[in-house]
């Protein structure tokens, strides 16, 4: 099967990770998975929410949003509608959980990092691009705080790295990193979030059409793990610059 953009089934879209995109944020990354572009900023503030005060532990949370015309037809702003939709809630929570999986709260100390992931242009896989980019912004914000000695010397709030990718079955073939057109046609859609050492942080698979069997599930997990490993290399390369 030929993919719409000529990729092989197990091939990622071109990945770019542009660090220090914004002059204000402690970490800021414009990440692109092909035509999907997400601006990820990490805002570091001293102090923690009320329910965590005095614990000696920090907090990391995330908010995801799409610009109204990030997609092919304009969507209403959630601020105008006056409420956040279920999809936005779900993705924000996923990003937050994924990044917290590589955080040592004690080492972070009573500091808070908020990851804002704003989709500037969408072409499938916005949540996985967001996680992948947010990790780099998070690493930069932590380096910034270490440089400022806000995080005590010798402490390592990051216990590893995290990346994410979508996989799906389109016309019986398992494909890596679906673009929008593939995503629409997928019978099964899965998001896989892995640490840099190849373990799973989150696995979310959904039958869009017919239910899937264990063999298909296994193939998707294999593909997702491979894709995350490739993304991890891209993150390391970006952070090495």
- Dihedral, CA atoms, 191, 195, 196, 198, nearest 10 degrees? -80
Contacts of 149 (CB under 8 A, 6+ apart): none
Minimum separation from the CB atom of position 135 to its own copies (A): 14
**CA-based nearest residue to 145, from 130, 133, 155:** 155
Cα separation, 190 vs 149, in Å, equals: 40
Q: Tell me, what DSSP letter sits at residue 220?
A: H
Does 126 count as an annotated binding residue? yes
Nearer Cβ to its own copies (81/152): 81
Nearer Cβ to its own copies (66/240): 66
Cα separation, 75 vs 81, in Å, equals: 11
Minimum separation from the CB atom of position 214 to its own copies (A): 7
Contacts of 118 (CB under 8 A, 6+ apart): 38, 39, 40, 64, 65, 66, 67
Does 87 count as an annotated binding residue? yes
What is the largest distance, in Å, between two alpha-carbon atoms of the chain?
57
Question: Is the separation of the CB atoms in 192 and 224 below 8 Å?
Answer: yes
Q: Find tokens 């542009």 and name the residue.
A: 18
Does 81 count as an annotated binding residue? no
Minimum separation from the CB atom of position 81 to its own copies (A): 8
Minimum separation from the CB atom of position 136 to its own copies (A): 15
Question: Is the separation of the CB atoms in 137 and 145 below 8 Å?
Answer: no
Residues forming contacts to its own copies in the complex (CB under 8 A) are 22-25, 28, 35, 39, 41, 43, 45, 63, 65, 67-74, 77-90, 92-93, 97, 101, 114, 116, 118, 120-123, 160, 190, 194-195, 197-207, 210-214, 217, 221, 225
Minimum separation from the CB atom of position 153 to its own copies (A): 26
Does 56 count as an annotated binding residue? no
Q: Which residues are annotated as a binding site?
A: 87, 125-127
Point out the annotated binding site for phosphate.
Answer: 87, 125-127
């Amino acid at each position: 099967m030929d993919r719409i953009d000529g990729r092989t089934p197990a091939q990622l879209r071109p990945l770019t990770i542009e660090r220090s995109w914004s002059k204000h944020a402690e970490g800021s990354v414009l990440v692109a998975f092909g035509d999907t572009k997400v601006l990820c900023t990490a805002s570091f503030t001293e102090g923690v929410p009320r329910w965590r005060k005095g614990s000696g532990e920090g907090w990391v949370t995330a908010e995801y949003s799409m610009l109204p015309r990030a997609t092919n037809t304009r969507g209403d702003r959630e601020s105008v509608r006056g409420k956040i939709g279920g999809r936005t809630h779900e993705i924000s929570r996923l990003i937050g959980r994924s990044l917290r999986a590589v955080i040592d709260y004690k080492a972070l100390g009573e500091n808070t990092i908020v990851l804002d992931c704003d989709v500037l242009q969408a072409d499938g896989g916005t949540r996985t691009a967001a996680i992948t980019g947010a990790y780099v912004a998070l690493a930069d914000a932590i380096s910034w705080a270490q440089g400022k000695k806000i995080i005590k010397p010798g402490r390592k709030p990051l216990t590893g790295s995290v990346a994410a990718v979508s996989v799906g079955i389109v016309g019986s073939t398992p494909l890596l990193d679906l673009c929008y057109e593939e995503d629409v046609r997928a019978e099964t859609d899965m998001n896989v979030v892995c640490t840099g050492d190849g373990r799973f942080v989150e696995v979310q698979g959904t039958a869009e059409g017919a239910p899937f069997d264990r063999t298909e599930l296994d193939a998707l997990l294999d593909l997702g793990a491979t894709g995350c490993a490739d993304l991890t290399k891209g993150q390391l390369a970006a952070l090495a610059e």
